[in-house]
A and B are shown apart, each in its own frame.
Chain A
Amino acid sequence: MQLLYFGWVRIKMGKDRENMDLPDGVANVRDLIEALRDRGAEYEEALNDISMVRVAVNQELTDLDAAVANDDEIALFPPMTGG
């Protein structure tokens, strides 16, 4: 899957995207975020307050319960501030 990061999630991660195989046992976005937080300090720093993280799967805004698959594009970002 391709992961994309925007806003302060991107800054804290130190990268704007990465490719990754779907980690074992990950079925939804919440599982994915938990799995990412174990990958290193920058992930923990970016994702420790899950209430501040918004998610899009395949460019559709969704929530933590959304299913994820290995061919998905998954974006993690702060609340949007358009306009």
Chain B
Amino acid sequence: MIKVQTEDFDIGVETARLTDGNNSVGGLACFVGLVRDIAGDDSIETMTLEHYPGMTERQLEKIEAEARERWNLLDTLIIHRYGTLAPGDRIVMVAATSEHRQDALESCHFLIDWLKTKAPFWKLEATSHGKHWVEARAEDRISEERWVIGGQNPE
């Protein structure tokens, strides 16, 4: 399931929804991304996430479908917030359930790695020294590419 929303989410509620009533689930893996209070030497006051409505949902659905093709998963969830957030706020949650831990753990790692570079979001940080756009990190591109199979990297 894909959710793109401004409002916060409850990790407990969301993970329970993935597992309750399904006793074939042997494991659930979850990653939650939060707004940090420091970027370099600056303290962050707010982070505003902008996205491309329509394309965002399409990209997230593609990433989710890719995960379900590669791993043996029972269910998946991607929640991504947009709008203005403060340090400590949750930004993103990815979760996967499977019969065995490896599928859930690896797919969760994959989901967040591909989200970083393939989901059309842009982050504007307001700091004590003014506003600046968060730049794409070379490390994120490397993390994306380690999941590419046989040179195939569907956009």
Chain A residues near B (Cβ < 8 Å): 4, 6-8, 10, 56, 59-62, 75, 77-83
Known: A62-B155, A83-B91, A83-B116. A78 touches B121 (CB 8 A): no
A82 touches B120 (CB 8 A): yes
B52 touches A82 (CB 8 A): no
A80 touches B120 (CB 8 A): yes
**Which residues of A are found within 8 Å of B116, using beta-carbon distances?**
80-83
Interface residue tally on B, bucketed by range: 20 to 34
Residue in B closest to A54 when the chains form the complex, CB atoms: B120
- The 8 Å CB contact of A75, one of B52, B115, B124, B155, is B52
**Can you list 6 contacts pairing A with B, beta carbon distance less than 8 Å?**
A4-B52, A6-B120, A59-B58, A62-B155, A81-B122, A83-B140
Q: For the complex, what is the distance from the CA of A59 to the CA of B116, rounded to whole Å? A: 17
Q: For the complex, what is the distance from the CA of A79 to the CA of B121, rounded to whole Å? A: 9
Q: For the complex, what is the distance from the CA of A62 to the CA of B118, rounded to whole Å? A: 11
B118 touches A80 (CB 8 A): yes
Chain B residues near A (Cβ < 8 Å): 33, 50-52, 54-55, 58-59, 80, 91-92, 112, 115-124, 133-136, 140, 155
**Which residues of B are found within 8 Å of A79, using beta-carbon distances?**
117, 135-136
A56 touches B115 (CB 8 A): no
A61 touches B155 (CB 8 A): yes
**Which residues of B are found within 8 Å of A61, using beta-carbon distances?**
59, 118, 155
A82 touches B92 (CB 8 A): yes
Known: A81-B140, A82-B115, A83-B33. 13 other contacts (CB 8 A): A4-B52, A6-B51, A60-B155, A75-B120, A79-B117, A80-B118, A80-B120, A81-B116, A81-B134, A81-B136, A82-B119, A83-B91, A83-B119
